[in-house]
Structure 1
Amino acid sequence: MLSRPPSSVIVVGSGIVGAATAYFLAERGIDVRLLDTSAPAAEATGAADGAVSVASKRPGPIMTAALKGVALYGKLADKGLFAGAFKRRSTFIVAISEEECAVLDAHSAALASAGVKVEILHGVALSRKSPALSPRARMAVEVHGEGHAIGYQIVHRLLSASGIVVDRNTSVEGLSLVNGGKRIGAVVTSRGELRADAVVIAAGNGSARLLGLGDVLTQRKGQLLVTERAPALNGSLPGAIMSGRYLLSKGSQKSTHTPPPRGLGLVIDPLVTGQFLIGGTREDSGSRETTDIDAVSRMLADAVDLVPGLSGVRLLRSFAGVRTAVADGLPIVGQIPGLENGFVATGFEGDGICLGPIAGKSLVQLMCGDEPDLRLSSFDPGRFADCGVAA
C-alpha cells in the first residue's frame, strides 16, 4: 500500500470507471494523466443500456454496491455534476406467467430484505400505474428509487468538471517494474514511457493482458436497440420495464440450468428523448461491430408482446457492446497483489454504468488511506492467484 497519498496518478482506460477514478483523484488536487487506446467511452461505456439500478440484483456484494452506486448518482445530480444526465425513475419487473410470478415473489422479498423499497402491483392497480403494458401482464414489482444515465454523457461530465484531457490513441504496451518487482516504475506506451506515483488499470477487456488474467476476464457481448420518438407512448410508461425472464438472463436467480451461449432478457427503457432503448442479449462470443437478425427480431417480438403499442414504433438503430466479465461474477477492484503503487478496477460487465462512479470513488479513497465507501474485500484482486504483472 502507498505510504502516503500520491501526488500524481496514471489511469489506463477512459470508460466510466477510469473517468470516475480520474475525477475523484483530481477533486483531491492529484495530478492525473488519463490514457486510452482510442477515445473516451469508446468501448463498453458507449454501448451500455445505462441502467442505474438494483432491480435485478440479489442480496450480496453487488446489490450493496449498486445501492451505494444509485445513491451516489443522486448526490452528484443534486450537486449539479449529473444534473439533467441522470433520470430518476422506477423499474417495473413484469411477470406474464405463473412461473415468472413465483420468481418475482421471491425476488421482491429478497430486495425488500435488503432495504430496497418495492411495491407489488396486480390487476387494476397495475393497469392504472402502467397502462401501456399488455393485458397478459399478471403482476409487476415496482422497484423505487432507480435511475438511468447515458454512459458517454456521464464520462463527458466527469472529464469536463475535472479539466482532464485524455491522451487518445495511446496504447499501453506494458508496465515496467522496479524495486525487485514491487513497484511500477513506468507505464510503457506507444508514445514512450510515462511515470507517476501510482497507476490504475481500468482498461476493461484490455486489463486481461496487462494483469495476466486471460483465464479470469472474458468478453461478454450485448445487443441493444433504439427506436424512433414516440412521446405519447413514452409518457405512458412511468419507468423502465423489465421482463421476469431478465432475472434469469442476468444471473440474479439461482438456476440448475447451464446458461445458454446467448441469453435473452428484455428491458424497455423510456428515454428522455421520447425514444425507447430495448435490450438485450448476453453472449459469450461475437464482435461488437455486428448485430444479427435473430437477436433483433426476438427482442422486438418480446418487446411488443409486453408493450403492444411498440408495434407502431419504428426501429432506428441496433448496436452491440462487448463488456468485461469476471469468472466468479464479481468485479475486480483494489490493489494489484505485490505492487505497492498498482491498482485495478475492471470486470463490471453490464453493471459498469451503475457501479463506475462509486467504484472509482472507493478506489481513490483506498489509494489515499481513507475508508472506502464500498467494502472492497469481496472485489479484491488477490482472490485470483494469477493476478499480477510480469517483470
Structure 2
Amino acid sequence: MESSDVVIVGAGIVGAAVARRLALGGFRVTVLDRGASAGGTSSSGEGNLLVSDKGPGAELDLAVLSGRRWAEFAAELPAELGPGFPDIEFEAKGGLVVATTATGADALLAFADTQRSAGVDARPVTAAEAAELEPDLTPRVAAAVFYPDDAQVQPSVATEALLASARRHGARLRQGVTVLGGVVSGGRLVGVDTTAGRFGAEHTVVAAGPWSAEVAGNFGVRLPVLPRRGTVVVTTRMPRRIRHKVYDADYVGAVESELAALQTSSVVESTAAGTVLIGSSRERRGFDERIEAAVVGELAAKALILFPFLADVPVMRAYGGFRPFVPDHLPVIGPDPRLPGLWHATGHEGAGIGLSVGTAELIGALMTGVEPEIPAAPFAVTRESLRKVTTG
C-alpha cells in the first residue's frame, strides 16, 4: 500500500492548485486521476479569471483572493520551472461588459454599483470610451462597464504548470487510476481503494469537478454536484482585433440561473494564439457530449451583435465540456464532518480556473489549522443552503 499525507482525487486545475499549495506546505501529496491531467473540465474552458460576473458575497471574496494569487503565480513560474516550460499566457487584459438595450443597461449599471460597494473596480464608460477600448465593437452600446482586474490564462498549460510545481516540491501524480471506494477505520477515511491498489492517506480531497458526486458516492457520501454543459466556438487565427474579454450583460444572469434548459449569452475574447473564443452556453443534460449545431449557431449569432466583423471570420472548431454545478451556486470547499478525513474542493461551475488557487489557499489554511484570509464557512458542505440536498 502506498501512503501519503493527502490523496487528491482529480488532476484538473483545482486538484493541481491544491496539490501545489499542500506540497509547498510540507505535506506528502499524491494526485490520482482516472484519465490524463487537465483531461476534463479544465481543458474545455476559456481560462477566465473574473471578478466582473460576481456580485458581493463569498464567491466574489474568493475571486479577489484568487486574482492576487494568480498574479503572484504568473510572476513566480518562469524562475521556478525554467524558460523551457510553456507560457501559461497570463494576461491581465481587463473585461468590458456591454448592454445593447435600455433594460439591460439599467440592470448592468445597478449590478456594477453593488460591486463597487464591495470594493470591485467597476468603471462605467460611455459609448465613445467603449469604442476606444474596442474599436470594432458594435455602436449599439446602451451602457458599458470596464473591469481592469479581469484576466485570462491558458487553462491546460496553467494546470500542467501547477502540477509541475507541485511535483518539484515532492507531490506524486498517478494517471489512469480510478478510485473505487474508501478505506474507513474507526469512522475515519484513511485511504482509497483504486484500480492500482490501495493508497493510504490522513486526508482525501475530492477535486473531480462534475464527477465529484460519483467519487463522493464511492465513499458513501452524498454531494450535490451535477454536470452543466457548456460549448465554446473557436475562429481561425487572425490579427488581434478584440483587446479585452467582452461580454453582454445577459451573461451574469445565465451564470446565476438554476434552469436546466439551454441558455446562451455572448462572451468574446482573443487568445495569445490569435484565435477568438466565443461562448457561452449553459445546459444541464447529464454527461451528453454531443456538440449541437443549433447551440453553435446561437452563440455565433449573439457574438455578431457585439462584433459584427466576425461575420467574415471562419469558424475553425467548437468544443464542449461539463462544469460542476451546485444548486446554490457556491463551490464546496473544506472538510466533510460526515466522514472525517474527507475533504471537498469542487462545485465551481464555470469559474474553476479563476477560483482554483484561492480554493487551494482555503484548503491549505483549514488543513493546517490556520485562519484563512477569507471566511471559509460559506463554502462548507454543511451550509444551510445545501443541507436539504446533502441529507435529503
1:163-183 Cα distance to aligned partner (Å, 9 max, x none): 24421111101112111x1x1
5+ residue gaps in structure 2? 82-86
Contact 1:358 1:374 in 2 (8 A): no
1:223 is the counterpart of 2:220: no
1:187 is the counterpart of 2:195: no
1:171 alignment partner, one of 178, 188, 201: 178
Instruction: Please give the secondary structure, in 2, of the residue aligned with 1:86.
Output: coil
Q: Which residue pairs with 1:36 in the alignment? A: 33
Q: Which residue pairs with 2:272 in the alignment? A: 272
The whole-number CA distance in structure 1 between the counterparts of 2:352 and 2:75 is 21
Distance change (3 Å), C-alpha of 1:239 and 1:42: same
Instruction: Please give the secondary structure, in 2, of the residue aligned with 1:345.
Output: strand
Q: Which residue pairs with 1:322 in the alignment? A: 322
Instruction: Please give the secondary structure, in 2, of the residue aligned with 1:166.
Output: strand
Contact 1:58 1:111 in 2 (8 A): yes
Instruction: Please give the secondary structure, in 1, of the residue aligned with 2:92.
Output: strand
Contact 1:263 1:281 in 2 (8 A): yes
Distance change (3 Å), C-alpha of 1:298 and 1:78: same
5+ residue gaps in structure 1? 1-5, 253-257
Q: Which residue pairs with 1:349 in the alignment? A: 349
Instruction: Please give the secondary structure, in 2, of the residue aligned with 1:382.
Output: coil
1:101-127 Cα distance to aligned partner (Å, 9 max, x none): 111110110121111112212232222
The whole-number CA distance in structure 1 between the counterparts of 2:285 and 2:260 is 12
The whole-number CA distance in structure 2 between the counterparts of 1:40 and 1:127 is 40
CA RMSD in angstroms comes to 2.2
How many residue pairs match? The answer is: 374
Q: Which residue pairs with 1:122 in the alignment? A: 126
Instruction: Please give the secondary structure, in 1, of the residue aligned with 2:310.
Output: helix
Counterpart code for 1:225 = V
2:55 alignment partner, one of 55, 58, 67: 58
Contact 1:336 1:387 in 2 (8 A): no
The whole-number CA distance in structure 2 between the counterparts of 1:371 and 1:125 is 43
Determine what percentage of the aligned residue pairs are the same residue. 29
Contact 2:88 2:161 in 1 (8 A): no
Counterpart code for 2:159 = V
Counterpart code for 2:126 = H
Instruction: Please give the secondary structure, in 2, of the residue aligned with 1:340.
Output: coil
The whole-number CA distance in structure 2 between the counterparts of 1:73 and 1:349 is 19
The whole-number CA distance in structure 2 between the counterparts of 1:37 and 1:158 is 19
The whole-number CA distance in structure 2 between the counterparts of 1:288 and 1:373 is 38
Contact 1:381 1:387 in 2 (8 A): no
Instruction: Please give the secondary structure, in 1, of the residue aligned with 2:38.
Output: coil
Distance change (3 Å), C-alpha of 1:207 and 1:125: closer
The whole-number CA distance in structure 1 between the counterparts of 2:71 and 2:53 is 19
Q: Which residue pairs with 1:255 in the alignment? A: none
Counterpart code for 1:142 = F
Counterpart code for 2:182 = L
The whole-number CA distance in structure 1 between the counterparts of 2:172 and 2:390 is 28
Q: Which residue pairs with 1:339 in the alignment? A: 339
The whole-number CA distance in structure 2 between the counterparts of 1:193 and 1:105 is 54
Q: Larger deviation: 99-108 or 204-213?
A: 204-213
Quote how far apart the aligned CAs of 1:382 are.
Answer: 1.8
Counterpart code for 1:55 = S
Contact 1:304 1:310 in 2 (8 A): yes
Counterpart code for 2:232 = L
1:229-248 Cα distance to aligned partner (Å, 9 max, x none): 111xx2x4331111111121
Q: Larger deviation: 71-80 or 290-299?
A: 71-80
Contact 1:177 1:184 in 2 (8 A): yes
Structure 1 stretches of at least 4 aligned residues deviating more than 6 Å after TM superposition: 386-389
Quote how far apart the aligned CAs of 1:130 are.
Answer: 1.4
1:93 alignment partner, one of 68, 92, 97: 97
Distance change (3 Å), C-alpha of 1:377 and 1:224: same
Contact 1:52 1:147 in 2 (8 A): yes
Distance change (3 Å), C-alpha of 1:199 and 1:301: same
Q: Which residue pairs with 2:84 in the alignment? A: none
2:155 alignment partner, one of 139, 151, 155: 151
The whole-number CA distance in structure 2 between the counterparts of 1:225 and 1:292 is 11
Distance change (3 Å), C-alpha of 1:288 and 1:88: farther
